[in-house]
Structure 1
Amino acid sequence: MAKRPDTLETLLLALELLRRIPRKNKITARELQEQLQNAGMDRDLRTIQRMLETFSEHFEIERDDRSKPYGFRWQEASRGMAVSHLTPQESLLLQLAQEHLRNLLPPRLMQSMSGFFDQARRNLDGYPDNPQSTSLEREWQHKVRVVATSQPLLPPTIAPGVLEEVSEALYANRWLELDYQNAAGKRQQAKVMPLGLAQQGPRLYLVCRFEDFDNERSLVLHRIRKAQASTLSFERPKEFDLAQYDADGRFGFGYGEKVRLTFEIETEAGFHLTETPLSRDQHVQVLNGEWMQISATVVDSAMLEWWLRGFGEAVRNIRKTEVKS
């Protein structure tokens, strides 16, 4: 009886390791140990190495022993850790979510989920020996799509390793050393405290504090030439809130200053604002059959200016009144 807890712990560890072994890229025992530590499971490296050796003998797991440290992955033809309890609807949701989570979760967490994503895809595609595969769920992924609200742009190229290092430092609350080049071409070395990661259209932004400063800045990831997560950790500022940072219009190049915006817009161009208002206190006044007046409390920002200019001559009499907090 005394050995039962140890047996259970060993079983749970084995399941966690099997679930985290990827199908495509190889993973080392050290990397698996770090993933387990991040998940609250502290195990010594030798224990993990012994388990991996056993797995490679009894499961369809490939061991690359051409050089140390050895790399492990599921063989291509294997089914890996099948998640048989996933319903077709859950499989569909996972596959759709994968694309949206790709740049918003630390790469190691995405890698640890690869078994679920792979199984979700298999559940939808079906195995050759599974005649009961559900064709309706397979068709559904071709029936839904997220479409752009503006001119579609290709995502900028991010230097190799940058997203991984940024994500690792952000996830573990570690200082981040950057080689950054701004839009004017000026290059600088900096040590920053990573606080948040946001996706805006095709761009990824890192919200951070530079060393010895107490204000936040947003850096686009594709302008980071090199990044290195430090071993030094920091205490995350309790007063910082990424959601509030966004609400203050900081990703739209604003500073949280609210204004009462009033403008006139041609009815045809502005009709969508009656369905998707600028704010909860928006007021619409019909002037005549061709024009309407819109009033709303919004955050003043460069993005707001660009949005208004996009209507060209269909917008007139723009006024902004400061809203005192």
Structure 2
Amino acid sequence: MAKRPDTLDTALLMVELLRRIPRGRKITTAELHQQLQSAGFERDLRTIQRQVETLSEHFDIERDDRSKPYGYRWRECAQGLAVPQLPPQESLLLQLAEEHLKHLLPARLMQSMDGFFSQARRNLGDSHNQRSDTAALEREWPRKVRVVATSQPLLPPAIAPDVLEAVSDALYANRWLHIDYQNAAGKRRQAKVMPLGLAQQGPRLYLVCRYEGFANERSLALHRINQAEASTLAFERPAEFDLQKYDEDGRFGFGEGQRVQLTFCIDNDAGFHLRETPLSKDQQVHDQEDGWMKITATVVDSAMLDWWLRGFGQALRDVQKTPLTTKEQ
């Protein structure tokens, strides 16, 4: 295979660097070097440093040189690496995503996506200047669809500056994280934790982690972390941990993974939606003569389940939970 010209290799490298420099948080040349190596770009660290310096001279990229290692990021007003040929359909989807996420994600996280959202708005704005039936339909589309809440909407809690950045960096690079955390009871402590996952539950973000010296996982609310600092020390990610299984075991609903056979009777009107959106794949519905129906389903037992059941008030009766053995689960 013929070798590509050096100018082409350099151009591709610069495009990759521009794509990987974030907005709203900083990244070091060492981190960029590691990412590029994982993507198959074999360059030494000094080359990456030179290229990033060159890019910062010609693009709206700022360098934080207050301390080493230096950090780089797109300026808040920068357009970033724009994609002017983003099709109208993708632009519309991004605009809908922005509308849905703006009250769910912290402001700093939304800022890191602002380049994509701005590009989508510009693309649709350009189409609005076109006199065509297609442009008119694209202009109408955002007013025809809407994401609605399934419960009382809540604004996201405030997250301390730099906490999300430090947590994300440590989670990405499998590095220990030093935190100053205050729990819901107001007790404050400092700890060294192993970050394993990040999850959004409604308007809140949770860090799944292990405390140093322990083998069990905890879920910490990011808005209760007062300070966070990613360590330079890496850890080996536990092979047995699976974030999806952690969720399926009901751990975000304050459960311990115990599955039960749930049985209850519910008023037909209050429980009609369960015919369309069942609790589980094995759910069974038995109609009764008194205007009630009996539901049987296998679910994970948790505090969230109890809260959900209590929400039906007098429209619910005869609740029973039968724990399943490991074999039955």
Provide the residue aligned with 1:125 in structure 2.
Answer: 125
Q: Distance in 2 between matches of 1:191 and 1:51?
A: 35
Q: Closer, same or farther in 2 for the Cα pair 1:139/1:171, shift >3 Å?
A: farther
Asked whether the 8 Å contact 2:169–2:230 carries over to 1, the reply is yes
Asked whether the 8 Å contact 1:156–1:203 carries over to 2, the reply is yes
Provide the residue aligned with 1:11 in structure 2.
Answer: 11
2:32 pairs, out of 35, 59, 73, with 35
Provide the residue aligned with 2:168 in structure 1.
Answer: 167
Deviates more, 1:119-128 or 1:279-288: 119-128
Q: CA deviation at 1:304?
A: 0.5
Does structure 1 residue 305 correspond to structure 2 residue 302?
Answer: no
Deviates more, 1:116-125 or 1:194-203: 116-125
Asked whether the 8 Å contact 1:33–1:44 carries over to 2, the reply is no
Q: CA deviation at 1:299?
A: 0.5
Provide the residue aligned with 2:191 in structure 1.
Answer: 190
Does structure 1 residue 206 correspond to structure 2 residue 203?
Answer: no
Q: TM-score, normalised by structure 2?
A: 0.82
Q: Closer, same or farther in 2 for the Cα pair 1:150/1:115, shift >3 Å?
A: closer
Q: CA deviation at 1:194?
A: 0.4
Provide the residue aligned with 2:156 in structure 1.
Answer: 155
Q: Distance in 2 between matches of 1:269 and 1:290?
A: 11
Letter in 1 for 2:16: E
Q: CA deviation at 1:184?
A: 0.9
Asked whether the 8 Å contact 2:24–2:109 carries over to 1, the reply is no
Deviates more, 1:294-303 or 1:78-87: 78-87
Q: CA deviation at 1:50?
A: 4.8
Q: Closer, same or farther in 2 for the Cα pair 1:15/1:129, shift >3 Å?
A: farther
Asked whether the 8 Å contact 2:79–2:115 carries over to 1, the reply is no
Q: Closer, same or farther in 2 for the Cα pair 1:20/1:121, shift >3 Å?
A: farther
Q: Distance in 2 between matches of 1:323 and 1:66?
A: 56
Q: Distance in 2 between matches of 1:316 and 1:251?
A: 26
Q: Distance in 2 between matches of 1:66 and 1:272?
A: 54
Equivalences for 1:1-325 in 2 at 5 Å?
4-20=4-20, 31=28, 34-39=31-36, 40=38, 41=41, 43=43, 47-48=47-48, 50-51=50-51, 61-62=59-60, 73=74, 81-97=81-97, 100=101, 103=105, 111=112, 115-126=115-126, 134-288=135-289, 290-325=291-326
Q: CA deviation at 1:9?
A: 1.5
Q: Distance in 2 between matches of 1:193 and 1:154?
A: 29
Q: Deviations over 1:186-223 (max 9, x none)?
A: 11111110000110001111100111111111111111
- In percent, how many aligned pairs have the same letter? 62
Q: Distance in 2 between matches of 1:73 and 1:115?
A: 10
Q: Closer, same or farther in 2 for the Cα pair 1:139/1:32, shift >3 Å?
A: farther
Asked whether the 8 Å contact 1:107–1:167 carries over to 2, the reply is no
Q: Distance in 2 between matches of 1:66 and 1:195?
A: 28
Asked whether the 8 Å contact 2:258–2:301 carries over to 1, the reply is yes
Q: Distance in 1 between matches of 2:131 and 2:73?
A: 32
Asked whether the 8 Å contact 2:255–2:301 carries over to 1, the reply is yes
Q: CA deviation at 1:250?
A: 0.4
Q: Deviations over 1:150-201 (max 9, x none)?
A: 1111111111111111111011111011111111111111111000011000
- RMSD across aligned positions (CA): 3.5
Deviates more, 1:308-317 or 1:43-52: 43-52
Asked whether the 8 Å contact 1:179–1:188 carries over to 2, the reply is yes
Q: Deviations over 1:228-260 (max 9, x none)?
A: 111111111111110000000000000010111
Q: Closer, same or farther in 2 for the Cα pair 1:84/1:260, shift >3 Å?
A: same
Unaligned stretches of 5+ residues in structure 2: none
Q: TM-score, normalised by structure 1?
A: 0.83
Q: CA deviation at 1:8?
A: 2.2
Q: Distance in 1 between matches of 2:182 and 2:122?
A: 42
Q: Distance in 1 between matches of 2:16 and 2:156?
A: 34
Unaligned stretches of 5+ residues in structure 1: none
Deviates more, 1:4-13 or 1:274-283: 4-13
Q: CA deviation at 1:134?
A: 3.0
Q: Distance in 1 between matches of 2:210 and 2:72?
A: 36
Q: Distance in 2 between matches of 1:265 and 1:220?
A: 34
Aligned positions, number: 316
Q: CA deviation at 1:17?
A: 3.4
Asked whether the 8 Å contact 2:265–2:293 carries over to 1, the reply is yes
Asked whether the 8 Å contact 1:25–1:73 carries over to 2, the reply is yes
Give SS of 1:126's match. helix
Q: Closer, same or farther in 2 for the Cα pair 1:128/1:21, shift >3 Å?
A: farther
Asked whether the 8 Å contact 1:21–1:74 carries over to 2, the reply is no
